[in-house]
Amino acid sequence: ILIILPFKEDKLYGTVKRFTDLKRGLLTVCFLAENVLTHKSQHLSGLALKFNLKLGGINYTLPAELFNSLYLEDGNPDALILGADVYHPPPDDHNPGLPSAAAVVGSFDNKFMNYLPSLRLQAGNQEMNLKEMVVERLRKFGIANPTNLLPFKILMYRDGVGDNQFQTLRETEIPTIYKAFETAKKNWITHRSETRGTLENKELHNGNDRIARNVTPGTVIDTALTHPDRNSFYLQAHAASQGTVRSIYCHIIHNTASLTLVRPSNP
């Protein structure tokens, strides 16, 4: 369902989404009335991408050779890709004790382009309790997978973690993912042993406001500019429609799957 909003306002958008998504279970795309009148291609193309994705389509894909280590021989996915973050409320003297919102998204298709979320409210300004949400994503992967197998590899992209929190992540969240797998495979008819890679990322501004000079999407830098003592890399994941492109700086925290960066061959 396409919903035309008369103006941009968070409360209005939230009301629409709560009623349609939560109460009625309807897939909706919201669009500003002012953008309908301008007919700008970037607005219309973005609208088309949202409709296609919500209807189960594939917006982007990559050559199969880039994903060889993530597939079984029969072409079915052998890896689950997770993304996790926590939103912390700003300080509010009038409303103390506001909760934080934690979320985990997980892939479930063989293109790694469709993701489903798990959401939790938790005590404010605390890092997330991962276990239940990871269990949900693992079981959805197994149900959607034609082989009915849980993943052999898990790649976790964890946002919102500072450099001084890496050790805490190793000691708390990584063991929690292992525990989640043990819980998910209980009563599962078939399953595979697991290995996992966990990554943390944070935004990097390249300071350039001209689209033509922004970094090319897909660019990876893993030497020279990276940390001398850590396994890390810069990734430009997408193009910017205007203004400054935002890259991510990823630190590989845990890599028992021995995955390496894969570069496409020159055409």
Give the chain's domain count. 2
Beta carbons within 10 angstroms of residue 191's beta carbon: 17
In a domain, 266, yes or no: no
Asked if residue 247 lies in contact with residue 234, where contact means CB atoms within 8 angstroms, the answer is yes
For residues 70 and 48, state if they share a domain: no
Structure tokens at 154: 């898990």
**Nearest CA-CA partner of 119 in 131, 107, 102, 132:** 102
In a domain, 244, yes or no: yes
pLDDT score for 254 = 75
Name the CA dihedral angle for 156, 138, 256, 258, rounded to a multiple of 10 degrees: -80
Cα gap 46→42, rounded to integer Å: 6
**Residues of the chain with confidence (pLDDT) below 70:** 64-67, 72-75, 93-94, 125, 127, 187-215, 218, 221-231, 240-244, 257-267
Cα gap 243→42, rounded to integer Å: 13
User: Which CATH number characterizes residue 95's domain?
Assistant: 3.30.420.10
Within the chain, what is the greatest distance between any pair of CA atoms?
Answer: 59
pTM above 0.85, yes or no: no
pLDDT tens digits, residue range 50-95?
A: 999 888 888 877 776 666 777 766 667 788 899 999 888 877 766 7
Cα gap 115→105, rounded to integer Å: 6
Q: Is 16 helix (H, G, I), strand (E, B) or coil?
A: helix
